């Protein structure tokens, strides 16, 4: 098993890790990956991946509006919203 680049994984997952918690997460991840590494030993040549229990095609529906307008109710859930818009920290200088 290759060494885990925990900083990169945490960056991809957008989770800040403190130096203390990073050590504990690294140890946990190593244990979990040691468990799941047992998969590598199985010969799966010619086996199609199963992404889902139902081998069904996605349903299609009429291209019509079915949802009621709940803009105000949904925006009310946001930590910060104004004038019908979600507020986030400045992205473009």
Partner 1 sequence: MSAERLLTSSLRELAAALSEGRTRAEALADAALERAQSLQERLNAFITLTSEAARAAARAADERRRGGNVSLLSGIPLAHKDLFCTRGVRTTAASRMLAEFVPPYDAFVVERLAQAGAVSIGKTNLDEFAMGSANEHSHFGPCRNPWDTSRIAGGSSGGSAAAVAAGIVPVATGTDTGGSVRQPAAMCGVTGIKPSYGRVSRYGIIAYASSLDQAGVIARSAEDCALALTAIEGFDPRDSTSLDRPAEDHAAALAATDGRLDGLRLGLPREFFAVEGLDADVRRAVEAAARTYESLGARLVDVSLPRAELAIPAYYVIAPAEASSNLARYDGVRYGYRAPDYADLDDMYRKTRAQGFGDEVKRRILVGTYVLSHGYYDAYYLQAQKLRRLIAEDYRQAFDSCDLILAPTAPTTAWRLGEKDQDPVQEYLQDIYTIGANLAGLPALSHPCGFDAAGLPIGCQLIGPYLAETRLLLAAHAFQEKTDWHRQLPPL
The residues that touch partner 1, with contacts defined as CB under 8 A, are 4, 6, 8-10, 12-17, 21, 25, 28-29, 31-40, 42, 44, 47-54, 56, 58-59, 61, 70, 73-74, 77-80, 86, 88-91
Return the number of the residue (8 or 63) whose C-beta is nearest partner 1. 8
Report helix, strand or coil for 25.
helix
| Token pair listed for 12 | 């991809």
Question: Smallest distance, Å, CB 92 to partner 1?
Answer: 10
Give burial (CB, 10 Å; 0-12/13-18/19+) of 88.
exposed
Return the number of the residue (16 or 82) whose C-beta is nearest partner 1. 16
Return the number of the residue (40 or 83) whose C-beta is nearest partner 1. 40
Question: Smallest distance, Å, CB 66 to partner 1?
Answer: 8
Give burial (CB, 10 Å; 0-12/13-18/19+) of 46.
exposed
Question: Smallest distance, Å, CB 6 to partner 1?
Answer: 8
**Residues linked to residue 86 through DSSP beta bridges, in sequence order:** 81
Report helix, strand or coil for 87.
coil
């Amino acid at each position: 098993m290759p060494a885990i680049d925990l900083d990169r994984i945490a960056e991809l997952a957008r989770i800040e890790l403190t130096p203390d918690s990073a050590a504990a997460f690294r140890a946990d991840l190593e244990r979990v990956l040691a468990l799941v590494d047992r998969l590598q030993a199985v010969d799966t040549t010619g086996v199609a991946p199963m992404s889902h229990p139902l081998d069904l095609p996605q349903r299609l529906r009429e291209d019509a509006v079915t949802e009621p307008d709940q803009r105000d109710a949904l925006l009310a859930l946001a930590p910060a919203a104004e004038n019908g818009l979600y507020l986030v920290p400045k992205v473009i200088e």
